[in-house]
Chains A and B, each alone.
Chain A
Amino acid sequence: MTYGLLMNLLDMVVMIGIYSIAAISLNLEYGFTGLSNFGKVAFFMVGAYTYAILAQAGVNFGVCMVASAVSAAAFGFLVSLPALRLREDYLAIVTLTSGEILRTIIQNQGIGGGYNGISITQIFHFQTLMAIRLANIGLAFAFLGICFIFSQLVANSPYGRIMRAIREDQTAAQSYGKNIQRYKSQVFIMGSAIAGIGGALFAQYSAHIEPGSFLPFLTFTIWMMVMLGGPGNNLGVILGAAVVQIFQKSAAILKDYVHLPVDPINVQYILFGILIILVLFYRPSGLLKESPVKPPKLKEPVNV
């Protein structure tokens, strides 16, 4: 039992790493730029399927990862073309629907095995499950580190200030001569690429993916991580991802080990819903508030 719990714990840590990447990608779009992408799962799915199909064809890991990021970015670009000119509510509906349509296409056209999904050989072949999980933790957190640093750099650069300006007041940003359409599209592409990386890692770790793994609830989970942790704060959304994952895994473990009159998984979903409404009411800025922009220090004035 203790061994089983330990394995569950390690599994949870891997998933925290993977979901944190997805949360960082949504944070770029929503937290910093104010874009309501309600189809995050679609970009995650594009990354996962690209990885799975290429890995099955025997392509090497690095190429698979790059291809996943690129294909997700390309899909992001495609969706951004009609979507980004729209108001937040329309953007939400369009992105949400894009995800559902993409899932329908994958299911019905037999892409990656259609309904049955596709199996992927993992890249780590160690003797024990523990070693495999530990290696996966290393891998997920290495990529998380890269995405985190990238996102921090973008957010704290002059570019990041434009992103915030678009979030706060589009008209004002436009009146300063910024082509907000182009900026939004670029942010969308960056966010999608990061989501694609997350999806690829998810596919690699899960060893089997199917259309049913990418339901709209996953999008909602990622939103929950961002809303709870603190939109506009990259450390915050990682914290949010950790809290949400701990919740989810505890419910799953509870279901396995304890007999309750209610299904803990259902209760968990209900509690998530209540939690997010409470966050909207009492702490709309999340657990960690948005960090102020850190401009580079000014040079010391030269004394003549």
Chain B
Amino acid sequence: MANTPWAQILLFSIQTGSVYLLSAVALTLTYGLSKFPNFAHAEFMTLGAYTGFFIANLLHLPLPLTVLVCILCAFLVSGSLGLMSYKIIFGPLLRRGSSLIHLMIGSMALGFIIRYVIIEIWPGGTQSFTLPWPEASNIGPFRIYIPWILPIAAALVAGVSMQLLLTRTNIGRAIRATASNPQLAMASGINTGRVLLTTWFLSAGLAGMAGLFIGMKASFSPTMGWNILLSVFAVTVLGGIGSFYGAIAAAFIIGLAENVGVVILAQFGLASDYRTAISFVILIVVLLIKPEGLTRLFKGN
């Protein structure tokens, strides 16, 4: 334990937390408004990575510009798919009064459709970006590598913009109104249908961005989104479903728990595959002791 690079683990925790933040803030938005966990969220993430990969191979621009275009495309492509999936599948199902279980099954079905379309387009399993990143360098106690820092910056930007969107704009107020009381929102003249479409677009778009950053950091495969979906669920539940600030706090808690937990597990000779088990244990404990998550801590959001 003496030689454990704690500073670096902290950096990795923040980085993991940032990716979870992007993905969980997105998931909690649709979960809170449409009242069901969207399992296709995993594939929205995966699609983001593949979209970025496709664009990066297509373009021959300077690195910063390529990265920006990749992020934008991942956001737009995943976002559009999220919008369409609400318009074509979940919206009509919700209007028909489908049960919670039917909606979950439907979202799983959608996830499989997207996943196997991705496999059909990009066969051959694992892929990785071939962007000319600058070499990793040491700054103080940290080892810095651009793909590690990108999600942190993106989470910061996305978090602040979401905060501004939710509190300062009309659509943001409409989203919060619809989340807290759909009937009342509708009665006060808010077009809740459009609000829901917007949240699905934003949610899937942010998921696509999260997926892109995971993909850029290392290799990725068609099951990439699925592999982190359970952690994202843990974050969402710990944060309290539908709670924006809760999801942000929970993302860093789970990020830290997983990264520190893996180091501790390694002391007992356990593989890093147990990473998900750590968030699972947190998930179970939260559900049993405090099913409303951290919501109470952030009253009034």
Chain B 109-152 interface residues, beta-carbon cutoff 8 Å to A: 109-113, 115-117, 119-120, 123
Q: Is the Cβ of A86 less than 8 Å from the Cβ of B287?
A: yes
Interface size class, chain A: 35 or more
Contact with A along B71-103 (1 / 0, CB 8 A): 000000000000000000100110010111110
- From the candidates B99, B117, B277, name the one contacting A104 in the complex (CB within 8 A): B277
On chain B, the number of residues with a Cβ less than 8 Å from chain A's Cβ atoms is: 42
**Pairwise interchain contact B37-A89, C-beta atoms closer than 8 A:** yes
* B280 lies within 8 A of chain A by Cβ: yes
Query: Given known contacts A89-B37, A96-B230, A270-B117, is B287 in contact with A276 (CB within 8 Å)?
Result: no
What's the Cα separation between A85 and B287 when bound, in Å?
9
User: Across the interface, do A97 and B110 meet the contact criterion of CB distance under 8 Å?
Assistant: no
Q: Which of B4-12, B159-167, B254-262, B268-276 contacts A (4 or more CB under 8 A)?
A: B268-276
Structural contact, A97 and B230, CB atoms closer than 8 A: yes
CB of A252 to closest CB in B, whole Å: 15
A104, B112: Cβ atoms closer than 8 Å? no
Say yes or no: A101-B276 contact (C-beta < 8 A), given A93-B37, A273-B110, A276-B105: yes
B230 and A276 contacting across the interface, CB-CB below 8 Å: no
Contact A89 B36 (CB under 8 A): yes
Q: Are B280 and A274 in contact (CB under 8 A)?
A: no
Bound complex: CA A98 to CA B230 (Å): 10
Contact status B291-A276, CB under 8 Å? no
Once the chains are docked, how many angstroms separate the CA of A280 from the CA of B101?
Answer: 10
Report yes or no: B92 in contact with A281, Cβ–Cβ below 8 A.
yes
Contact across chains for B273 and A277 when beta carbons are under 8 A apart: no
Given B100, B110, B271, B274, which contacts A89 in the complex, CB threshold below 8 Å?
B100
> Which residues in B have their C-beta under 8 angstroms from that of A223?
105, 108
A97 and B237 alpha carbons, distance in the complex (Å): 14
Take A89-B37, A276-B105 as given contacts and tell me if A263 and B288 are in contact as well, using a CB distance cutoff of 8 Å.
Answer: no
A–B Cβ pairs within 8 angstroms, 23 of them: A85-B288, A86-B287, A87-B100, A88-B104, A93-B37, A97-B276, A100-B280, A101-B276, A101-B280, A104-B274, A108-B270, A217-B112, A227-B105, A266-B119, A272-B109, A273-B109, A277-B106, A277-B109, A280-B98, A280-B102, A280-B106, A280-B109, A281-B93
Point out residues on B near A: beta carbons under 8 Å. Answer: 36-37, 89, 92-93, 96, 98-102, 104-106, 108-113, 115-117, 119-120, 123, 226, 230, 233, 237, 270-271, 273-274, 276-277, 280, 283-284, 287-288, 291
